[in-house]
């Protein structure tokens, strides 16, 4: 109703992260904006063809430049997102060759205005400290349709990867 | 034997001393996300101890990202030591993505990096995953597109299937479901499960390792390339199938293949460590072998394997040892009593199509 829309978001932080407190508004955060790509059906079909040994296209892989030509966000998407960021004074951004990600650095204060609803806090686990938002963010409806999600707000590194060292079992356990 | 070493793996998967990379135009990579650093001295010591029977490299060719100091991580040590043992003498990279800023997501950083580098290794192995239900659908869908972007470039992405079997999600009183893991559940990656020797002290045939992750996605629908294999499984094992309320029969089913995942030796912080287990071990082992196959293909003027699954499922198990014994773990409740899915002839959601028989797989994938 306010002209802002939310994405589907995974807000809940695992309980093993300890809340330290709100970050200072002047602290920098880096957010990753995933811009809407084009031709995704064609990308999927191309992948099917180049990976299917029964296809004449099998093995005819694309270069990064060709992938970029295929999925690069539309001029409109790029313009709308950049204009939105600039309007909030966010100019420290870098893109990638496929132009479908923008990584921007800004203060937490600016980020919270840019993404209404977000509130940045610091959390610690073991010796690791991270800054994440405790609440879902929204973006203006004009921008919403041009983004897939904004990264750097919610997801945290897992505690362990898929490896373990087991103890030698005792005879009783066996 | 007293645990899995490169020699044991190479014996089981029929890799001879001549089955190593020629070193030309071929490379492989492991990606690390949790401030997990390998230590060059560990790799050198590991190869000195365990690499005497085959030509190999003892150094990583390129580290992308910041190689941290201090203690080595067990995960990083395992990944690099074993991809360089089966993918021996192949140029190897490490992507290290600790997240420079406190607000960075290391996995996302790695994905962004792939979109920005034109020359990448052909095979990447990643031993990392989250429960599907802990991630937003928007995020998973976009990452799935990023995996497509890599696949269409001819890059093979291999993910560990996870170490919780079918997993278990408690959904209120007396109601459980299996818990799939992402990116293992993406239809555009090759997911690797785990096995163990039938006799843990001999190079015997393999059986299911109970930790081997596997099951059916609740987010991604079943891709066409696997529909027939999965349908065959579901029809043939009705007696041992868990109740259908535990899993989504129309979802992407995984893993796609497997390798040994139990009782590995790893050198970390200069100490040889036994009893290391997990699909973190099986994934680089398979990755290394695919790199060798890529090397053979490239030397014959053929393209790299790229996204393997459509071809793997067409092989219907050719070039692989079928794993048909054992079940992985599931929910510990009255209905399934700790059991998830069970292995069966042909494809199954515990070990996929099975484990590599290198010369046969090479022959099948060289045509």
Above 60 in pLDDT, residue A1? no
Above 70 in pLDDT, residue B155? yes
List the one residue out of B110, B112, B105, B129 whose CA is nearest residue B64: B110
> Which two structure tokens, joined as six digits, stand for B302?
């053929």
pLDDT at A162: 59
pLDDT: is A170 or A78 the higher one? A78
pLDDT at A169: 54
Best probe of the B interface among A163, A166, A167, by most B CBs < 10 A, is A163
Indicate the pairing of strand A120-125 with strand A18-22: antiparallel
pLDDT at B101: 80
Above 90 in pLDDT, residue B287? yes
Contacts of A130 in chain B (CB under 8 A): 99, 102-103
With CB atoms and an 8 Å threshold, state whether A163 touches B281: yes
Question: Contact at 8 Å (CB) between A90 and A110?
Answer: yes
pLDDT 10s digits, A126-160: 888 999 999 999 999 999 999 999 999 998 876 65
A159 min Cα distance to partner chain B (Å): 8
Q: How confident is the model over B120-141, as a mean pLDDT? A: 94
- Residue B109, number of CB atoms within 10 A of its CB: 22
Q: Quote the mean pLDDT of chain B.
A: 95
> Using CA atoms, how far apart are residues B188 and B219, in angstroms rounded to an integer?
13
> Using CA atoms, how far apart are residues A98 and B287, in angstroms rounded to an integer?
26
Radius of gyration of chain B (CA): 19
pLDDT tier for residue B91 given thresholds of 50, 70 and 90? very high
Q: Hey, is the C-beta of A38 within 8 angstroms of any chain B C-beta?
A: no
> Which two structure tokens, joined as six digits, stand for B347?
């494809």
With CB atoms and an 8 Å threshold, state whether A165 touches B160: no
> Using CA atoms, how far apart are residues A96 and A109, in angstroms rounded to an integer?
26
The least confident of A124-128, B286-290, B354-358 is A124-128
List the one residue out of B267, B360, B271 whose CA is nearest residue B322: B360
Q: Hey, is the C-beta of B316 within 8 angstroms of any chain A C-beta?
A: no
Q: How confident is the model over B210-237, as a mean pLDDT? A: 97
Q: Hey, is the C-beta of A88 within 8 angstroms of any chain B C-beta?
A: no
Nearest residue of A to residue B141, measured between CA atoms: A148
pLDDT at A167: 57
With CB atoms and an 8 Å threshold, state whether A148 touches B142: yes
Q: How confident is the model over B336-356, as a mean pLDDT? A: 97
Question: Contact at 8 Å (CB) between B109 and B143?
Answer: no
Alpha helix positions (H), chain A: 40-51, 64-71, 75-87, 108-114, 141-144
Tokens 């001029």 -> residue: A75
Q: Hey, is the C-beta of A163 within 8 angstroms of any chain B C-beta?
A: yes
pLDDT at B43: 97
Q: How confident is the model over B268-277, as a mean pLDDT? A: 94
Above 90 in pLDDT, residue A28? yes
Question: Contact at 8 Å (CB) between B320 and B356?
Answer: yes
> Using CA atoms, how far apart are residues B131 and A136, in angstroms rounded to an integer?
20
Please report, in angstroms and rounded to a whole number, the separation of the first and last CA atoms in chain A.
Answer: 62
List the one residue out of B168, B150, B90 whose CA is nearest residue B308: B150
The DSSP call for residue B317 is T
Above 60 in pLDDT, residue A168? no
Q: Hey, is the C-beta of A28 within 8 angstroms of any chain B C-beta?
A: yes
Above 80 in pLDDT, residue B215? yes
Give B 137-166 residues with CB within 8 A of chain A. 137-139, 141-142, 145, 148-149, 151-154, 160-163
> Using CA atoms, how far apart are residues B283 and A14, in angstroms rounded to an integer?
26
pLDDT 10s digits, B357-366: 999 999 999 9
Indicate the pairing of strand B206-208 with strand B190-197: antiparallel
Q: Hey, is the C-beta of A21 within 8 angstroms of any chain B C-beta?
A: no
A113 min Cα distance to partner chain B (Å): 17
The least confident of B11-25, B41-55, B244-258, B303-317 is B11-25
With CB atoms and an 8 Å threshold, state whether A52 touches B311: yes
Give the active site residues of B: 75, 79, 280
- Residue B32, number of CB atoms within 10 A of its CB: 28
B141, B283, B302 member nearest A59 (Cβ): B302
The DSSP call for residue B133 is G
pLDDT tier for residue A163 given thresholds of 50, 70 and 90? low
Q: Which residues contact B208 (CB under 8 A, 6 or more apart)?
A: B195, B196, B323, B325, B326, B327, B328, B342, B343, B350, B351
Contacts of A98 in chain B (CB under 8 A): 115-116, 149
pLDDT at B347: 98
> Using CA atoms, how far apart are residues B58 and B264, in angstroms rounded to an integer?
19
> Using CA atoms, how far apart are residues B213 and B132, in angstroms rounded to an integer?
13
Q: What are phi and psi of B286, to 5 degrees?
A: -65, -40
pLDDT tier for residue B31 given thresholds of 50, 70 and 90? very high
- Residue B128, number of CB atoms within 10 A of its CB: 27
Contacts of A48 in chain B (CB under 8 A): 310
Within chain B, strands assigned E span 27-32, 62-65, 91-96, 123-126, 130-131, 156-160, 169-170, 176-177, 181-182, 190-197, 206-208, 215-221, 251-254, 257-260, 264-268, 271-277, 320-321, 327-329, 339-342, 355-356
Above 90 in pLDDT, residue A3? no
Above 90 in pLDDT, residue A10? no
pLDDT 10s digits, B327-344: 999 999 999 999 999 999
Q: How confident is the model over B176-190, as a mean pLDDT? A: 97
> Using CA atoms, how far apart are residues B232 and B236, in angstroms rounded to an integer?
6
Contacts of B161 in chain A (CB under 8 A): 162
pLDDT at A159: 64
Residues in chain B: 367
Q: Hey, is the C-beta of A65 within 8 angstroms of any chain B C-beta?
A: yes
Q: How confident is the model over B162-186, as a mean pLDDT? A: 93
B17 min Cα distance to partner chain A (Å): 28
With CB atoms and an 8 Å threshold, state whether A51 touches B308: yes
Contacts of A40 in chain B (CB under 8 A): 145, 148
Q: How confident is the model over B154-164, as a mean pLDDT? A: 96
Give B 270-309 residues with CB within 8 A of chain A. 273, 275-281, 283, 302-304, 306-309
> Using CA atoms, how far apart are residues B108 and A101, in angstroms rounded to an integer?
10
Torsion angle, alpha carbons of A139, A142, A144, A146, to 10 = -130
pLDDT at B359: 98
Sign of CA dihedral B126, A57, B355, B216: positive
Contacts of B30 in chain A (CB under 8 A): none
> Using CA atoms, how far apart are residues B349 and B141, in angstroms rounded to an integer?
22
Tokens 């607000």 -> residue: B103
């Amino acid at each position: 109703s306010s002209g802002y829309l939310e994405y589907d978001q995974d807000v809940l932080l695992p309980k093993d992260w300890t809340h330290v407190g709100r970050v200072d508004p002047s602290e920098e955060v880096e957010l990753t904006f995933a811009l809407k790509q084009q031709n995704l059906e064609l990308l999927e079909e191309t992948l099917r063809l180049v990976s299917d040994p029964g296809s004449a296209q099998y093995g005819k892989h694309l270069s990064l430049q060709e992938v970029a030509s295929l999925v690069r966000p539309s001029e409109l998407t790029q313009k709308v997102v950049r204009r939105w960021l600039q309007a909030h004074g966010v100019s420290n951004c870098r893109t990638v060759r496929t132009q479908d990600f923008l990584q921007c650095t800004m203060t937490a204060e600016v980020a919270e205005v840019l993404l209404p609803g977000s509130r940045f806090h610091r959390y610690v686990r073991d010796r690791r400290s991270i800054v994440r938002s405790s609440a879902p963010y929204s973006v203006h409806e004009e921008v919403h349709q041009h983004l897939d999600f904004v990264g750097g707000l919610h997801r945290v590194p897992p505690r362990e990867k898929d490896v373990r060292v087991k103890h030698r079992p005792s005879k009783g356990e066996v | 034997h007293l645990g899995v070493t490169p020699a044991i793996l190479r014996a089981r998967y029929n890799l001879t001393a001549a089955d190593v990379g020629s070193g030309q135009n071929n490379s492989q990579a492991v990606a690390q996300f949790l401030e997990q650093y390998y230590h060059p001295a560990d790799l050198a010591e590991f190869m000195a101890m365990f690499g005497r029977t085959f030509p190999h490299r003892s150094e990583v060719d390129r580290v992308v990202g910041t190689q941290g100091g201090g203690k080595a991580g067990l995960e990083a040590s395992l990944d690099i030591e074993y991809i360089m043992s089966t993918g021996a003498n192949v140029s190897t990279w490490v992507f290290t993505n600790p997240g420079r800023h406190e607000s960075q997501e290391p996995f996302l950083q790695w994905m962004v990096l792939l979109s920005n580098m034109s020359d990448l290794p052909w095979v990447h192995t990643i031993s990392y995953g989250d429960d599907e239900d802990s991630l937003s659908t928007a995020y998973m869908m976009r990452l799935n597109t990023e995996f497509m972007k890599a696949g269409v470039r001819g890059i093979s992405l291999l993910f560990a299937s996870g170490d919780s079997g079918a997993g278990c999600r408690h959904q209120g009183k007396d109601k459980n479901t299996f818990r799939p893991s992402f990116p293992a559940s993406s239809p555009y990656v090759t997911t690797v499960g785990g096995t163990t020797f039938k006799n843990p002290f001999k190079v015997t045939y393999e059986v299911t390792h109970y930790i081997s992750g596997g099951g059916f996605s609740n987010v991604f629908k079943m891709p066409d390339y696997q529909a027939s294999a999965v349908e065959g499984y579901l029809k043939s094992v009705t007696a041992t199938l868990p109740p259908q309320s535990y899993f989504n029969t129309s979802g992407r089913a995984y893993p796609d293949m497997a390798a040994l995942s139990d009782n590995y030796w790893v050198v970390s912080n200069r100490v040889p460590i036994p009893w290391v287990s997990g699909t973190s071990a099986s994934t680089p082992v398979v990755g290394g072998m695919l790199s060798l196959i890529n090397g053979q293909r490239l030397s014959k003027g053929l393209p790299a394997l790229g996204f393997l699954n459509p071809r793997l499922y067409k092989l219907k198990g050719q070039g692989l040892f079928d794993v048909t014994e054992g079940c992985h773990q599931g929910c510990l409740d009255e209905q399934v009593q700790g059991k998830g899915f069970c292995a069966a002839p042909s494809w199954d959601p515990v070990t996929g199509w099975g484990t590599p028989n290198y010369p046969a797989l090479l022959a099948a994938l060289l045509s």
